[in-house]
Amino acid sequence: MKNLLKNLAVLLVMLAALGVWIALPWQGVLAVAVLLGLWLAFTRTGRLALEATRVGIASLPQRWGASSVVIVGIAGVVGVLVAMLAMGEGFQATLDAAGNDETAIVLRGGSQAETNSVITRSQIPLLTSLPGIEKDADGRPLISAELSQVVNLQSRADGSDTNVQFRGIGEDAFRVRQNVRVVEGRAPAPGLREIAAGRGAQAQFRGLEVGNTLMLGNQQWTVVGAFESGDAYESELWSDAQTLATSYNRGAYQSVLVRTGKEGFETFKAAVEADPQLKLDVFTTRAYFAKQSGGLKRLLEILGTVIGGIMAVGAVFGALNTMYAAVAARAREIATMRALGFRGTPVVTAVMLETLLLALLGGVVGGLMAWLLFNNFSASTLGNNFSQVVFQFRVTPELLWTGLKWALGIGLIGGLFPALRAARLPITTALREV
């Protein structure tokens, strides 16, 4: 009972330590590694632990089958965790890239997204006349009144119906968004049922090749061009706003995109807020898209952590079984070292270091698998407007580092109890074991 309580107390401490370990920045991890290295190199106990570790590592080839269970289990945990986090990272990067500090988006007051925003046609001339808006060479304000319609297209992957955002744009939409460029064909002409498709949409959905015709809203539309933007807009179809409004019986706009420059944003925002006829909210597109991406990224982080945690439990038990078996197989060897003067601390440290080495290998394998399989992998998911957003997974160095810390944390817990058993096993008992 006493040993059970001790082990339980140790487990609670280790779980707390694991939480701190996962949260540590790289500077903290480096400090821990340096302190451990100094202890191993310059203390008698540390040098004994290092010698015991070398003996254990030398016998790994004879135990490679059992040891590979630890490596594979931890690799699976790290791979899944990094892949889930890479999904959230890629989604956020795609939305964030759509925004900047030089372009403003105008929505109805209190609206959280375009889907629940309404801007009347009578408000557009009022917005156009406000200060802070950049103008083209002819003195025309760079502004695009827009609306969106969700339409169904077939997925390239399995032919299933998928929601896609069909955006009606103003005449100056391509000049307001300076990162958007037509790469094939041309932009849709005003007054015609013509479509420019984003490259991301073309990659994910059928029938969007330039020259094809689509039946949308019981009307025939022609794909006349394709555009690139490197952001969430590549998931969309673009057409003339007035034509889209007529085809879908839409009497109002949903958003207005305005080119303000960094200096003009505050002037424009103040002018909108000062006009009692408008009752509209103004955001930089950077702030707007960051808000849109935050919810899903947090959800994916929580989901990835939960799934990774569940798999980590299995990996911990795998490590426990493997290291218990290793300790049992090396019982006489460990007893002999203790009889020669290796106290409990060097023995515990040796078993822990051996487990951490296996965990490190598992973490490297899992991170490498995640990077090879998922980095830049193209996928799509529902955005806040209930249409698909095409994005690419991003396996960043920060995510790989997180996965590696998880691997070492699992190894730390998985090796602790076998290490304690090795240190507590009576020497005479161990020497009698075959």
Helix 64-97 / helix 285-329 crossing angle, nearest 10 deg: 180
pLDDT at 83 over 90: no
Q: How much is the CA Rg of the chain, to the nearest whole Å?
A: 30
Alpha-helix residue ranges (DSSP H) falling in 330-386? 331-339, 344-374
Average pLDDT value for residue range 277-283: 91
Instruction: Return the ∠ at Cα 333 (arms to 332 and 337), rounded to 5°.
Output: 115
| 283/17 Cα distance (integer angstroms) | 42
What is the per-residue pLDDT across 337-365, written as a single tens digit (0 to 9) for each?
Answer: 666 666 667 777 777 888 888 889 989 99
| 179/176 Cα distance (integer angstroms) | 9
Please report, rounded to a whole number, the percentage of residues in the chain having pLDDT higher than 70: 85
Task: Enumerate residues 6+ apart whose C-beta is below 8 A from 351.
Answer: 56, 323, 326, 327, 415, 418, 419, 422
pLDDT at 14 over 90: no
pLDDT at 431 over 60: no
Instruction: Report yes or no: 52 and 337 within 8 Å, Cβ to Cβ.
Output: yes
Task: Determine the pLDDT at residue 434.
Answer: 46
| 187/174 Cα distance (integer angstroms) | 9
Task: Determine the pLDDT at residue 76.
Answer: 86
Higher pLDDT, 410 or 257: 257
Dihedrals phi, psi of 187, to nearest 5 degrees? -75, 155
Task: Determine the pLDDT at residue 11.
Answer: 64
pLDDT at 384 over 60: no
What is the per-residue pLDDT across 174-213, written as a single tens digit (0 to 9) for each?
Answer: 999 988 999 999 999 999 999 999 998 998 899 999 999 9
| Mean pLDDT of the chain, nearest integer | 83
Helix 344-374 / helix 331-339 crossing angle, nearest 10 deg: 140
Alpha-helix residue ranges (DSSP H) falling in 229-284? 241-247, 261-274
Helix, coil or strand: residue 224: strand
Side-chain-facing half-sphere of 258: CA atoms under 13 Å: 31
Q: Tell me the residue type at 346.
A: P
Exposed e or buried b per residue across 266-299, where buried means at least 16 C-beta atoms within 10 angstroms of its C-beta: eebbebbeeeeebebbbbbbbebbbebbeebbee
What is the per-residue pLDDT across 290-339, written as a single tens digit (0 to 9) for each?
Answer: 777 666 667 777 777 777 777 777 777 777 677 666 666 666 666 666 66
Can you say whether the dihedral through the CA atoms of 84, 88, 89, 94 is positive or negative? positive
**56 vs 59, 397, 427, CA distance in Å?**
5, 32, 18
pLDDT at 385 over 60: no
Higher pLDDT, 223 or 71: 223
281 — pLDDT class (breaks 50, 70, 90) = very high
Q: What is the 3-state secondary structure (H, E, C) of 184-199?
A: EECCCCCCCCEEEEEH
Task: Determine the pLDDT at residue 132.
Answer: 92
87 — pLDDT class (breaks 50, 70, 90) = confident
Average pLDDT value for residue range 251-279: 91
pLDDT at 386 over 60: no
